[in-house]
Amino acid sequence: MNIQEIVEILVRSGIEPNEASKEVKMLIEHFCNYTAKDIILGTPLDYEKLEIVKQKAQLRANTRKPIQYIIGQSYFMGDFYEVNEDVLIPRDETEIVVNHALKIIKNNGFKKVLDIGTGSGCIACAISKYAKVDVCAVDISDSALKIAKKNAKKLGVGVNFINSDLFSNINEKFDLIISNPPYIPKGTKVQRELGYEPQNALFTSEETGCEFYKKIIEDGVDKFLNKNGYIVFEVGISQSELVKQYFENNGFVDIVIENDLANIPRAISAKKSYNK
Ligand code: GLN
């Protein structure tokens, strides 16, 4: 048994070869305490270590459970975040959304940020790490908040976590509200891996996938957003135009859409222009 044969276990289960070799590297780094450099230099793995990697690869191939849940962590904006099946796995695309928000925060000297539906806490923690702001983060799930709190502690960042169904337990105003809410339209056929993620973090109960954008804009604008404050969302494929309309209908200005690395509109931001 060698590394190529382990990659082959994943490829035979239908995982793309590039993805499969990336995942086997992740298993080696995590379970064998190897650095990426050890792997590049071909430092040999002893039989026992190879056996562990093989077992984990077999688990991945048989169940199609995401590799991040098998390892128990996921890399996001320069840090490892603990994850389990109570929280969505942080996505590369979300880094674009966080960077988009960080630019707005810095350009406007903002001080108070709210993250809605924080899950693993990755957005809130990254903002707290890379900007000098007070971050409050809410989620409806206590088990998600438990992981989010652990992540904030591990990274040494201060975030105020609150159990709240959107704004239900919030009673102050913020300069910027950010959210990566559930946005996959009900009934969408998705890959097997997504079956392991919390379904209420992925799917909306209606067909546009836009219910949470609408709610957050309409419920948030008057009571929870300061004048000249911004809302920043992660959006799914082909949702940016509808979300733009919601913003316009509610008097927002300076609407900006930013594409991700796959050139899909992914981040949308807008500014509240009036005082209320
Ligand atoms: N980006 C995720 C996906 O398509 C969905 C995340 C979400 O619904 N917020 O897998």
Indicate whether 100 and 205 sit together in one domain.
yes
What is the rounded distance in angstroms from the CA atom of residue 276 to the CA atom of residue 262? 38
- What percent of the chain shows pLDDT beyond 70? 99
Indicate whether 139 and 196 sit together in one domain.
yes
For 135-151, what is the mean pLDDT? 98
What is the rounded distance in angstroms from the CA atom of residue 166 to the CA atom of residue 70? 30
153 domain-assigned: yes
- Identify the pLDDT of residue 108: 97
Q: What is the 8-class DSSP label of residue 193?
A: G
Q: Which atom of ligand 1 is nearest to the CA of 197?
A: 10
Cβ atoms of residues 233 and 210 within 8 Å: no
Chain segment 14-47, per-residue pLDDT in tens: 999 999 999 999 999 999 988 888 878 888 888 8
Ligand 1 pocket, mutate which of 91, 97, 191, 260 (most atoms under 8 A from CB): 91
What is the rounded distance in angstroms from the CA atom of residue 128 to the CA atom of residue 142? 21
Beta strands 265-272 and 225-234: pairing type? antiparallel
- Confidence grade of residue 275 (pLDDT, cut at 50, 70, 90): low
Q: Is the pLDDT of residue 139 over 80?
A: yes
Q: Which residue range(s) make up the domain with 259?
A: 88-272
Q: Which atom of ligand 1 is nearest to the CA of 91?
A: 1
- Confidence grade of residue 276 (pLDDT, cut at 50, 70, 90): low
Residue identifier of the C-alpha nearest atom 6 of ligand 1: 202
Chain segment 217-238, per-residue pLDDT in tens: 999 999 999 999 999 999 999 8
Q: Is the pLDDT of residue 79 over 80?
A: yes
For residue 216, give the CATH number of its domain: 3.40.50.150
Indicate whether 51 and 99 sit together in one domain.
no
Indicate whether 58 and 106 sit together in one domain.
no
Cβ atoms of residues 179 and 198 within 8 Å: no
- Identify the pLDDT of residue 224: 97
146 domain-assigned: yes
pTM: 0.95
- Identify the pLDDT of residue 12: 97
CB atoms within 10 A of CB 182: 21
- Identify the pLDDT of residue 43: 82
> Counting runs of H as helices and runs of E as strands, what totals does the chain give?
11, 9
Give the number of C-alpha atoms closer than 13 A to the C-alpha of residue 166, restricted to the C-beta side. 15
Q: What is the 8-class DSSP label of residue 135?
A: E
Cα 265 to ligand 1 centre (Å): 13
**Domains in the chain, number:** 2
Indicate whether 141 and 37 sit together in one domain.
no
- Identify the pLDDT of residue 45: 84
Indicate whether 155 and 245 sit together in one domain.
yes
What is the rounded distance in angstroms from the CA atom of residue 264 to the CA atom of residue 251? 25
Could you please report the per-residue DSSP string of 53-79?
HHHHHHHHHHH---HHHHHTEEEETTE
Cα 95 to ligand 1 centre (Å): 13
User: Roughly what angle, to the nearest 10 degrees, separates helices 3-12 and 47-63?
Assistant: 10
